Structure 1
């Protein structure tokens, strides 16, 4: 029972008592008090003035006095503005009301109505630990999912682990160059942080090599492509997609370090998921859909062999969906993932919690 109904009930009881009427609480109109007036809730009494042959001010004062005197724990004051009785709710009542409702875990919840909503959040990369942006999205996504549950939706909380791609290969190459067989156990470093350290080391070495090539006369863009360590990462991605055993072994080992670290973080912040998808499991279906779309004219191929989609008609730009070497980009797996999630979950509504840095 909410505060509005309690005020309706109190007002109806006192009107019936004072004027020998038989109004139900639902017949009493109660609104939120306008911010320029004192009070929290307003009883609209204008419609009763003609029936009772009383001025709005007189009716308001009589009803206000009666409600305040009869329900002192609910009403601590009132004022009358023309045909509106503005009620001030007592602080003690509000505190008691909130404490009782706070202790009721089912308060305000609606029964399930059959509609399904999918909320995707967190969705980190396995080349580094969760950062502040991930925490923000976890708290937002988890909270939205719980709100939808309370509103009667069937909710699926999902996350996509971006566990493959060039960024993952960079941390792997970094570990091969600088790791000296380091493990979370041998270093005492949390697994996701350890892997993140080698992603950083890769970036530092890449920058050093680019500067070295530029000093030798090469342009920055060309140097970024020709840096040996970058070429090594690109080749590792090709080898990964080809299933090269030693690459797959290292990939699985380092990803497992990250998953262990993430699990600890998720347990600490209280975030959870009903289903976690893995990019490595869906990117092939995305590549197949790209091939199908290329044949149907949805996508087009550029002279260098890369595959794109033209979204300029939608107010966006051209977007690459497959690299010239045939390897997938992030959107490739996303194409496959959307189809898989809809097939498995059949959601009526899908919500993706991402940082606006990705706009």
Structure 2
């Protein structure tokens, strides 16, 4: 039980004893810096139930706490705020119990809880991953790690969009203009090679539209009747009918793309436990359309199309099967969700990491699954996120103006090298050590810059701004971790770690640092409940700011006595461990030297 829970119980007892009122909840906040105290009880909400002066109410509760709770040593009341001072022994007791726990704040999965499946990435196989995919992957991976740390079993998955007209566009362009070139022959990653042909298709398509317009066709007609588009549509029909040559081409080019994707995922530091492919799942939901028709969830129109009427739920009518009997995206997503539960019976909920342009789609999907009677549908969550923009503007895949994920990762390492050299921070490092460190700093900067922002907000990503060794950035936090490691290398940490200090007065900076560390388990749980890596990122920044204030105000290795030195070294080590744990939830590595 944490301090807030303990105090909450006693505050309720005090109010019951003194005012004969039973409170349902007690509101706490951090004590303002200008007043003595460690935690504050907000009295104002109680005045709805207790008639009286807020100062007198606060003093009554404060006196009760001092008498009943050993860790409460004093209090003061400022208007409607009861500021409580907690004894140093309380913080030392917490510190001694947890200082050598390398997994402090991180929980193992609970056997009695249902697992969660987290879907992210889910790319199309007609182009390489780009900056938008990076935000998706980083969010999905981090939320999966945070959910694990909160005590849940987690499966990471993606559905690869490997079929459809967009895939056929790349295939057709390669068939027409590729002259048999391959990734091995060109030295290009497979996903980049295929992506080039997606861009090539669009270029040729636009030329044909202009030719048709010049011949007197209306623009809309020209767009529909451009020969290259009609041929791509015929290719899709051939694929769906199982044409041997078309399927062989599709398998070959998709194989190139998967190899490219895997390289990018490795460089980005994300992984998956299981994969689903749209080519396997696009017909999955059709049997459940039949079931829904029988149960009245769906209705069939005169033309044979099947719909779900959600108007009574404040939404609209949604098609789930075309008049010709073919599936739509919604049908596929219904089937895929159900299939996943069949494949993993211990899953009780899912998180879909998809951009906010799909908010309505998931609102409809979750509602339909509930109407079909699946109890787990109440535990589905759309991790909706905003777009990522660059100072140069919006990205467009078909025009080839996207920021390629591999290029961005490489550019981040180059920018880290440039800035590190300017600051002269890596003197004495070998070339190999420098190269590895640039990668750690560059990736850390990229991940932190994206993850520190609330997922729902749009991001303007500036690579140079993200690699700054001052302020709320990944490199600033990594540098603080490395600084602590430099301190620890000058000590016999094993010998110091075993010492226990039970009676001493804490310096205010020591106390503030312990209080900040104490928050970490609750921050992890809160981040899991809100599916928000930003809470972890900004907590870590606050912890690092607190450590740097501590570092500037007290001497660690040059402390006046052995007891102070021991505590401060142990405390520094616990801060480093907490930084490492919190950054691991963001998928960020921390360097031992920097």
- TM-score, length of structure 2 as denominator length: 0.46
Match of 2:145 in 1: 146
Q: Deviations over 1:8-59 (max 9, x none)?
A: 8xxxxxxxxxxxxxxxxxxxx9943255854552488743537989xxxxxx
- Pairing partner for 1:109 from 107, 110, 114: 107
Does structure 2 conserve the Cα–Cα contact (< 8 Å) formed by 1:79 and 1:85?
Answer: yes
Match of 2:352 in 1: 352
Does structure 1 conserve the Cα–Cα contact (< 8 Å) formed by 2:235 and 2:246?
Answer: yes
Tell me the SS of whatever aligns to 2:235: helix
Tell me the SS of whatever aligns to 2:124: coil
Matched residue pairs, number?
310
Q: Deviations over 1:215-243 (max 9, x none)?
A: 22222222222111111111111100111
- Pairing partner for 1:49 from 49, 52, 63: 63
1:108–1:296 Cα change, 3 Å:
closer
After TM superposition, give the deviation of residue 292 of structure 1 in Å.
Answer: 6.5
Distance in 2 of aligned mates of 1:104 and 1:178: 57
1:336–1:142 Cα change, 3 Å:
same
Where do residues 49-128 of structure 1 align in structure 2 (5 Å cutoff)?
A: 49=63, 63=73, 81=78, 84-87=82-85, 104-109=102-107, 111-112=109-110, 113-128=112-127
Q: Deviations over 1:289-334 (max 9, x none)?
A: 456667887254686x8x4535551444555555677665433422
After TM superposition, give the deviation of residue 115 of structure 1 in Å.
Answer: 1.7
Tell me the SS of whatever aligns to 1:144: helix
Match of 1:226 in 2: 225
Match of 1:33 in 2: 30
1:315–1:203 Cα change, 3 Å:
farther
Does structure 1 conserve the Cα–Cα contact (< 8 Å) formed by 2:59 and 2:77?
Answer: no
Distance in 1 of aligned mates of 2:227 and 2:100: 60
1:244–1:30 Cα change, 3 Å:
closer
Distance in 2 of aligned mates of 1:88 and 1:51: 11
Does structure 1 conserve the Cα–Cα contact (< 8 Å) formed by 2:156 and 2:272?
Answer: yes
1:300–1:213 Cα change, 3 Å:
farther
Distance in 1 of aligned mates of 2:226 and 2:216: 13
Worse-superposed segment, 173-182 or 282-291: 282-291
Does structure 1 conserve the Cα–Cα contact (< 8 Å) formed by 2:73 and 2:86?
Answer: no
Q: Can you give the 5+ residue segments of structure 1 that lack an aligned partner in the other structure? A: 9-28, 54-61, 65-77
Distance in 2 of aligned mates of 1:168 and 1:148: 34
Match of 1:262 in 2: 261
After TM superposition, give the deviation of residue 107 of structure 1 in Å.
Answer: 2.9
Match of 1:274 in 2: 273
Tell me the SS of whatever aligns to 1:285: coil
Q: Deviations over 1:172-204 (max 9, x none)?
A: 011112211111111111111111110111111
Q: Deviations over 1:263-314 (max 9, x none)?
A: 00111111111110011111232345456667887254686x8x45355514
Q: Can you give the 5+ residue segments of structure 2 that lack an aligned partner in the other structure? A: 8-25, 42-57, 360-594
Distance in 1 of aligned mates of 2:227 and 2:295: 38
Q: Deviations over 1:80-117 (max 9, x none)?
A: 64783455999xx99x97xx879723534255132221
Does structure 1 conserve the Cα–Cα contact (< 8 Å) formed by 2:170 and 2:194?
Answer: yes
Worse-superposed segment, 182-191 or 214-223: 214-223
Match of 1:283 in 2: 282
Does structure 2 conserve the Cα–Cα contact (< 8 Å) formed by 1:123 and 1:161?
Answer: yes
After TM superposition, give the deviation of residue 147 of structure 1 in Å.
Answer: 1.4
Tell me the SS of whatever aligns to 2:275: strand
1:182–1:79 Cα change, 3 Å:
farther
Match of 2:418 in 1: none
Distance in 1 of aligned mates of 2:103 and 2:333: 37
Does structure 2 conserve the Cα–Cα contact (< 8 Å) formed by 1:122 and 1:353?
Answer: yes
- TM-score, length of structure 1 as denominator length: 0.72
Distance in 1 of aligned mates of 2:209 and 2:138: 39
1:143–1:84 Cα change, 3 Å:
same
Match of 2:366 in 1: none
Distance in 2 of aligned mates of 1:319 and 1:52: 62
Does structure 1 conserve the Cα–Cα contact (< 8 Å) formed by 2:59 and 2:76?
Answer: no
Distance in 1 of aligned mates of 2:217 and 2:209: 9
Does structure 1 conserve the Cα–Cα contact (< 8 Å) formed by 2:122 and 2:160?
Answer: yes
Worse-superposed segment, 285-294 or 243-252: 285-294
Distance in 2 of aligned mates of 1:245 and 1:102: 62
1:107–1:312 Cα change, 3 Å:
closer
Distance in 1 of aligned mates of 2:218 and 2:325: 26
Tell me the SS of whatever aligns to 1:348: strand
Distance in 2 of aligned mates of 1:232 and 1:325: 21
Tell me the SS of whatever aligns to 2:247: helix
